[in-house]
Amino acid sequence: MEQYKKDGRIIRGLQRGAHSFATCTAMSALEITNRLVQTVQYCAEVAYDMISPGPSVRKKKYRRKLRRLTHPADLREGFSNAYHVVTEGVLTTAQTIYHTAVDEHEQKGVTGAIGGVLRQIPPTMLQPVILATEATSNVLGGMRNQLLPDKKREDEEKWKPEEDN
């Protein structure tokens, strides 16, 4: 109606309304999907912490997030962050299994090494779920920030570190 009152073009007003509706719907779908993925990630992290003999995955993740507090600016950066999350996670998992085997071998011999590796199997089975959900969240965040760059600025203002006075 606004477009019709402005210059008499009904079709242009319908196009703008349809575009606005599509954008809002896509953003809502992205937000809901991202929240669902984050919920699955949280559940997997809790399960990992419950069955893992080692330190909490959430403490490791917190240290990693301190190094990289930026939200992806666009889809490309989201994929890049997702790639780094997956490669870092796979390397960390492999190192954990290796160090467990070496430490247990030094203390208890071959049977200790085998037992140590066997104790690492349940948390290792959950690690791909945690990595996949974190990577997916990065990609969805990049997609959201590419569609609406103002949301990224709002998030940065909302979550910026407090300055010491």
Task: Please tell me the total count of domains within the chain.
Answer: 1
100 inside domain: yes
164 inside domain: no
CB 125 within 8 A of CB 62: no
Sign of CA dihedral 79, 80, 86, 89: negative
* pLDDT tier, 96 (very low <50, low <70, confident <90, very high otherwise): confident
Q: What is the dihedral of CA 88, 93, 96, 97, to 10 degrees?
A: -150
DSSP-derived 3-state class of residue 52: coil
pLDDT of residue 34: 92
127 inside domain: yes
DSSP 74: S
Arithmetic mean of pLDDT, 61-70: 52
pLDDT of residue 137: 92
Measured distance CA(151)–CA(81) in Å, rounded: 18
Sign of CA dihedral 138, 139, 140, 145: positive
138 inside domain: yes
165 inside domain: no
Task: Compare 32 and 151 and report the one with higher pLDDT.
Answer: 32
20 inside domain: yes
Q: Which two tokens stand for residue 125?
A: 């089975």
pLDDT of residue 65: 52
Structural domain boundaries, residue 60: 2-159
